Amino acid sequence: MQTQEDLEPTVRIRELKKDRVNFVLGNVDLAFANSLRRVVMADIPTVAIDMVEIEVNTTVLPDEFIAHRLGMVPLNSSNCEEAIKYTRDCTCLAGCPYCSLMLHLNVACHDDNTMDVTSDHLDLVPFPTDPEQQNPEPGEELAQRGELFGQPVGKHEPGVPPVLICKIRKGQELKMKCTAKKGIAKEHAKWSPCSAVSFEYDPHNKLRHTTHWYEKSIKEEWPLSENALEEEPPREDEAFDFNAKPNKFYFEVETDGSLGPQEVVMRGLAELQTKLANLILGLKKQPDGEILANDPQVNGHVPAAEPSWAGGGQQSAWGAGASTGGWPTTSRGNASQWGSGSDGGATSGWARSGSDGGATSGWGSGSATAAATTTGWASPSRQTNGWNS
Amino acid sequence: MYTMHIGEQCLEYLGDKFRVILNLPEDWSNAAQGAWLLQKMVLVHLDSPRDKFRMLIFMLRKLYATVSGACCADNPDSPQHQEVLLPGSLYGMIIKERMEEILNNIRSSISTDVRNGVAVDFHDKRYFMKILSKINFDIGSKLSNFLATGNLVSPTGLDLQQASGFTIIAEKLNWQRYISHFRCIHRGAFFAELKTTTVRKLLPEAWGFLCPVHTPDGSPCGLLNHLSRTCRIVTSPLSVAHIPALLAAHGMTQAFTPSIDGGRNICVQLDGRVIGWARPAVANQLANNLRIWKTEEKQEVPLDLEIGLVPESKGGQYPGLFLFSTRARMMRPVKYLPNGRDDQVGPFEQVYMDIACTPEEIDPSICTHVEHDPTNFLSILANLTPFSDFNQSPRNIYQCQMGKQTMGTPSTALQHRTDNKLYRLQTGQSPVVRPALHNTYAMDAFPNGTNAVVAVISYTGYDMEDAMILNKSAHERGFAYGTVYKSQIIDLKDVRGASKSTSAPSLHFGLGKDIVTSGEKTHSCINILDGDGLPGVGVKLQPGDYIAAYIDDTTGRTKFVRYKGDEIAYVDQVRLLGSDAGDSELQKLHITLRITRSPVIGDKFSSRHGQKGVCSQKWPAVDMPFSESGLQPDVIINPHAFPSRMTIGMLVESMAGKAGAMHGLAQDATPFKFTEKDTAINYFGEQLLAAGYNYYGNEPMYSGITGQEFAADIYLGVVYYQRLRHMVLDKFQVRTTGPVDPLTRQPVKGRKRAGGIRFGEMERDALIAHGTSFLLQDRLMNCSDYSTAWVCRTCGSLISLGYDDISLGEMVVGNSGSLKPTGPGGEYCRVCRAVAEQQEEYERQAMATGRHLQRPQADIRVAISSQQVLRQAASKGGDLDVVAIPYVFRYLCAELASMGIAVSLEIQ
Ligand SMILES: [Zn+2]
Ligand SMILES: [Zn+2]
């Protein structure tokens, strides 16, 4: 009999729809399956509105709230890997057509009825280039973009209700310029292509990883999931195989539309591959100069040297994990920004309120005054002069 | 013995005795004064002397009965015998007193004129005008002062037990807090100081009138109560003049009957007036008749008439038929069973009535009434707690507190409000699980929280001790995002340099010519202020930024007003305040500032079941546990939050919320809807089963980190979470160095002053117990008031340092011509030098006379270890050492010295 290790991993797609894919992953380790789930959730780049320049906002909602809502609108990001650069990897200063997208929102209500401002009002416009600034080296990104790239998902598509941003009444106006950038969900949830990733193994609990607590009857109180049909129910007299390992994983990846479900899974696998390649590279005791020089994938980017990763609240745990080996990473910069939780400058500025700045402002001034009042009493000689003389 | 035989004589006697203090016109006869005394001072609610007499007799009878033990004393703490002091009555009394004062002033000013011989002509209008113009008629100022301060300024005190604390500010923190201000009743400041707890006790008489749940814990507990939901207060007078005749026609013996057997008849009273007598059976019949009449609107008996029939008993309350129609009584609606009509009952009569709580428990032989709703005895807030009947009772009390501290939706017209401080939850939701009254009170228009997916699991340890873990992605998607609105008012009249004259202001909003608005030297205020000197709407303000600019006419220069807060704020609105006519120059601004308060670690949250907790981590979504469907909790709380607190209502809410979310239902969470036979668990369990979930709301979950299934299934559901206004940004206190107290040189206290947190005696004890002496020294000395001081080795004095300037190589020569000894820096001990000089003097005198004298020595000695001595004195001259001591110790030595106590240190 063949052992599990000998079998090739299998993927059986049970259902593929526009916004979801349901598949069974077989003959892989639990750790691998979970890694795929994690990568799909948090590491796949998409584009989302990241900076909003507000010109007019006479609605009832405050600026930062509208900016936050805009950031949440899913934008079409297919082939994001090739079609757009990270701004931090780009040669431009603050944004260029190769690393940013520009969307305009310009709505005013002249009607007596309440008007809905929706994602359909977001218009993708060519990114303005600054004539004074030296144009960055032209990339081939623009050619890789699809027709809909950067458009709000489902815009003008029949049967797809748009995302409501705000409601305005007569005389109110909303005018803003939104800059969309590429990012991953580790940095901010708005860059996640998935709305939920369903993950299950061992529906009959044959492995006894869990215990189903019940009061009267386990059958009546615990309905079996649909995936239970895929596996043999345990026989009454079946002996417990304590060596068995899970090897069939039921996935359902549901996306918000920014990426197709197929692309999400494929990119997830590719991403996982890249990460593992980096790990192997990092585990080599001393990276060969030869390898470094020959491999175009590697550019010697060392995350440990990056100062930003310590500042990002709980994200710093990521940074620490990622940088244990201090190995170089790829130019795609996946690992390099593991810890950079706070450098994204998220749309509204409230995604990064965790630990930066804010808290310290209260007593910064206090210490300055303290310095003034406390001078002189620590030194014995001046003490003598001031006291009893 | 008795010289007074007729009433007239008695009145004359009373008038004669009380004339001195009554302050009535001098030409009134004694009898008139006596009549006035009885009229205004004795049983003032009764007009006729005959009624007063009957009432006094009744009181005597009751007194005898009480003393003999035939009846018990009435309990003044029971709501049965209480009525409410309404603000309207209080205002009325204040106005009345002020009017009396005015009239007295007029009278006294006229009588002064009479006494001084000024021509007083009552037919002369001009004279009256002159008198009236002297009098201050301002009633409004007195009332507005009362409303602003809550202090009652009154010569008589208006027979109230307190003189202050009558008003509070109706805070619009959220709708719940606001409505509570208008439904609360305070027993009085006097009772707050009382040591006994009897006045705070929840008595059964309060049922249906005062909410048993909605009272604060702590010092005002039981004194500050809230009206039950359906309880109302009678505020209009009732027409009851015909009632005595009506009752007499139906068998009541009238009060003027020459002979009544007091042993067999009970008294019938209306508003404290004896209107007749009746046999107990007749009284019972009368009471029944009245109740039928009033519920059926017959015989013009008003519905709000309270019919208190106290039956005869042995040692119980004094019997009688007591009718009440006055205002300020509490009344509540119940259903009258004989005719199925609405009846209003009061606290006095309710004690002797049989009101069933639910239609099921009506016993036809006993019950006369039934509650409209079993939840009517709860206040509005207590009614808004879902499944409160499942919870341990203190938790419902806590929820009533926390509901009032929630960041919610204070108003739907925030754009038009000018409150000093407002909290707003940006993403409020309608709860999935809500009592029916949630809709009645339109709470959906004022949402107070967010539906959160809650997992009850001990995960990562960051949910210990009531902390809760927030899902970082949920937070990034806007969970519990809040905003604080603050106001800053800028009035140029109050600014320094404002002209005192009212005609032409010397300060004007705007930017002067001295401000460079463009080019390289552009003034930094241009980023914030417009040309009119006002901030632009939407501008971001850092602490200390300019918020407005004005030009001073006298200097011609532009001055700035700064933003006072210590947080980043955005200008939300700028209001120009002017006069009503709008024709005066702009001198006053109201600026609404918006401060964003995204939830951060340390902010407080709570469910609606008194389960509060602090956010301890924002955990990345990939690391959060997840269910088979990929559902991740927004909030993780620890299972230990439940066993001791027994908030089963929260567990039920979690199940109900989950089922409601799956089936798209708004679940009814009204208490007392389920029974032992028809349980909530079964109802929602079936719903969960139908949605494909476990019957008890559990779910197998997987670790987000390893992907492995947890060994136990996890309780996962949807619970409505409130964000409380206590935020860490308002509370954190930290300091390394900072301001110190000038006297003791120890760090000051107080968050506002960048002070420290007291390291007190108990903390000190803890460090001693741990033997961490270096830490102890670090806290109490090095980081506090470390100082160095010179101490004299010879006499041990800390405060006797003297100093000779020998820096230029000079030597100081004393009056005896010898060289004065000093240390290397010129320091010396003044005591020792004085002693030495004296000694020298003595020796010189001894040499002259041959006598010897002793040298004085200090009494108290404190041993200082040699480690503390930083520097050894070099020469024998000064003999001083530098030691490290807490500065406050030197202060102590100086204080003791001023009292004539010397402290001497021994240095080894
Ligand atoms: Zn660029
Ligand atoms: Zn001395």
Q: How many residues appear in chain A?
A: 389
Identify which of B881, B889, B901 has the alpha carbon closest to the alpha carbon of residue B793. Answer: B881
Q: Residues whose CB is under 5 A from ligand 2 (ion)?
A: B 792, 794-795, 829, 831-832
Q: What is the crossing angle of helices B30-41 and B7-22, to 10°?
A: 80
Q: What is the pLDDT of residues B469-478, one digit of tens each?
A: 999 999 999 9
Q: Which residue of A has its CA nearest to B616?
A: A314
Query: Contacts of residue A60 in chain B, CB cutoff 8 Å?
Result: 415
Q: Which of A204-213, B60-69, B510-519 tops mean pLDDT?
A: B60-69
Least confident of A348-362, B15-29, B746-760: A348-362
Nearest Cβ partner for A211 among B702, B712, B801: B712
Query: Contacts of residue B629 in chain A, CB cutoff 8 Å?
Result: 196, 198
CA–CA separation, B492 and B509 (whole Å): 8
Least confident of B61-65, B237-241, B785-789, B844-848: B844-848
CA–CA separation, B788 and A40 (whole Å): 64
Cβ B738–A37 below 8 Å, yes or no? no
Q: At B719, is the pLDDT very low, low, confident or very high (cuts 50, 70, 90)?
A: very high
Torsions phi, psi for A201 (to 5 deg): -140, 160
Domain A46-87+95-130+165-191 -> CATH class: mainly beta
The total of other beta-carbon atoms located within 10 Å of residue B554's CB is: 9
Q: Is A79 left (phi over 0), alpha (psi -120 to 50) or beta?
A: left
Cβ A30–B708 below 8 Å, yes or no? yes
Q: In the prediction, which pLDDT does A217 show?
A: 85
CA–CA separation, A195 and A259 (whole Å): 11
Q: At B902, is the pLDDT very low, low, confident or very high (cuts 50, 70, 90)?
A: confident
Q: In the prediction, which pLDDT does A316 show?
A: 35
Cβ B598–A350 below 8 Å, yes or no? yes
CA–CA separation, B367 and B354 (whole Å): 5
Q: In the prediction, which pLDDT does A319 show?
A: 35
CA atoms within 13 A on the CB side of B3: 3
Identify which of A323, A314, A259 has the alpha carbon closest to the alpha carbon of residue B624. Answer: A314
For residue B841, is pLDDT > 90?
Answer: no
Q: What is the pLDDT of residues B597-613, one digit of tens each?
A: 999 999 999 999 999 99
Q: Alpha helix locations (H) across B121-249?
A: 125-134, 139-149, 175-181, 189-192, 243-249
For residue B227, is pLDDT > 70?
Answer: yes
- CATH code: domain B444-480+601-723 is 2.40.270.10
Q: In the prediction, which pLDDT does A305 show?
A: 36
Q: At B806, is the pLDDT very low, low, confident or very high (cuts 50, 70, 90)?
A: low
Torsions phi, psi for A130 (to 5 deg): -85, 115
Query: Contacts of residue B426 in chain A, CB cutoff 8 Å?
Result: 65
Q: Looking up tokens 């918006």, which residue turns up? A: B594
Nearest Cβ partner for B802 among A365, A366, A388: A388
Least confident of B384-393, B791-800, B843-852: B843-852
Identify which of B784, B728, B715, B775 has the alpha carbon closest to the alpha carbon of residue B756. Answer: B784
Cβ A63–B538 below 8 Å, yes or no? yes
Between residues B857 and B217, which one has the greater pLDDT? B217
Ligand nearest to the CA of B793: 2
Identify which of B673, B665, B669 has the alpha carbon closest to the alpha carbon of residue B690. Answer: B665
Query: Contacts of residue A371 in chain B, CB cutoff 8 Å?
Result: 737
Pairing label, strands A329-330, A298-301: antiparallel
Provide the strand spans (E) within A17-163. 20-26, 46-57, 100-108, 115-118, 122-125
Least confident of A111-115, B18-22, B706-710, B806-810: B806-810
Chain Cα centroid distance, residue A205:
32
The β-bridge partners of B884 are B788
Nearest Cβ partner for B709 among A54, A209, A220: A209
Nearest Cβ partner for A313 among B618, B740, B802: B618
Cβ A62–B572 below 8 Å, yes or no? yes
Query: Contacts of residue B568 in chain A, CB cutoff 8 Å?
Result: 358, 361
Identify which of B471, B699, B717, B715 has the alpha carbon closest to the alpha carbon of residue B605. Answer: B471
A vs B: CB pairs below 8 A: 204
B236-370 is a CATH 3.90.1070.20 domain? yes
For residue B398, is pLDDT > 80?
Answer: yes
From first to last of its 389 residues, chain A has per-residue pLDDT tens of 445 556 788 999 999 998 899 999 988 999 999 999 999 999 999 999 999 999 999 998 999 999 999 999 999 998 888 888 888 888 887 788 888 899 999 999 998 999 999 999 999 998 887 666 655 566 677 778 888 888 998 887 888 889 999 999 999 999 999 999 999 999 999 999 998 899 999 888 888 898 888 888 888 888 888 888 888 888 888 888 888 888 899 999 999 989 999 999 999 999 999 999 999 999 987 655 554 444 444 444 434 333 333 333 333 333 333 333 334 333 333 333 333 333 333 333 343 333 333 333 333 333 333 333 333 333 333 333 333 33
Nearest Cβ partner for A190 among B476, B617, B702: B476
Q: Which residue of B has its CA nearest to A61?
A: B426
CATH superfamily of B483-597: RNA polymerase II, Rpb2 subunit, wall domain (2.40.50.150)
CB A166 within 8 A of CB A117: yes
Within 8 A by CB and 6+ apart from A152, the residues are A73, A74, A75, A76, A103, A119, A120, A122, A162, A163
For residue B750, is pLDDT > 90?
Answer: no
Q: What's the burial of B832, exposed, middle or buried (CB within 10 Å: 0-12/13-18/19+)?
A: buried
* Distance (Å) from CA B907 to ligand 2 centroid: 12
CA–CA separation, B268 and B246 (whole Å): 13
Token pair in block for residue A136:
């960055």
Q: How far is B539 from chain A (nearest CA, A)?
A: 10
Cβ B695–A198 below 8 Å, yes or no? no
* Distance (Å) from CA A90 to ligand 1 centroid: 4
The fold adopted by the segment(s) A1-44+194-208+243-294 is Gyrase A; domain 2 (3.30.1360)
Q: Give the DSSP letter of residue B438.
A: H
The β-bridge partners of B434 are B668
Query: Contacts of residue B618 in chain A, CB cutoff 8 Å?
Result: 313-314, 354
CA–CA separation, A203 and B628 (whole Å): 10
Q: In the prediction, which pLDDT does B868 show?
A: 58
Instruction: Enumerate the domain spans of chain A.
Output: 1-44+194-208+243-294, 46-87+95-130+165-191, 300-388
For residue B676, is pLDDT > 60?
Answer: yes
Q: At B80, is the pLDDT very low, low, confident or very high (cuts 50, 70, 90)?
A: very high
- Which of B411, B427, B476, B679 is the best residue to mutate to test the A interface, defined by the most A CB atoms within 10 Å of its own CB? B476
* Distance (Å) from CA B840 to ligand 2 centroid: 16
Q: What is the pLDDT of residues B193-207, one digit of tens each?
A: 888 888 999 999 999
Q: Which residue of A has its CA nearest to B890?
A: A387
Per the prediction, chain B carries an average pLDDT of 88
Q: What is the pLDDT of residues B81-114, one digit of tens each?
A: 999 999 999 999 999 999 998 998 888 888 888 8
* Distance (Å) from CA A263 to ligand 1 centroid: 25
CA–CA separation, B206 and B216 (whole Å): 17
Ligand nearest to the CA of B802: 2
DSSP secondary structure of B104-136: HHHHHHHHHHHHHT----TT-HHHHHHHHHHS-
- Whole-prediction pTM: 0.80
Q: Which of A299-308, B111-120, B266-275, B776-785 tops mean pLDDT?
A: B266-275
C-alpha distances out from residue A256 to A18, A72, A163, A190, Å = 10, 10, 12, 10
Q: Which residue of B has its CA nearest to A347?
A: B476
* Distance (Å) from CA B835 to ligand 2 centroid: 9
Ligand nearest to the CA of A100: 1
Instruction: Enumerate the domain spans of chain B.
Output: 236-370, 444-480+601-723, 483-597, 733-769, 786-898
Cβ A41–B622 below 8 Å, yes or no? yes
Torsions phi, psi for B280 (to 5 deg): -55, -40
The β-bridge partners of A118 are A164
Q: In the prediction, which pLDDT does B261 show?
A: 84
* Distance (Å) from CA A84 to ligand 1 centroid: 9
- Which of A201, A255, A373 is the best residue to mutate to test the B interface, defined by the most B CB atoms within 10 Å of its own CB? A373
State the average pLDDT over residues B290-300: 92
Ligand nearest to the CA of A87: 1
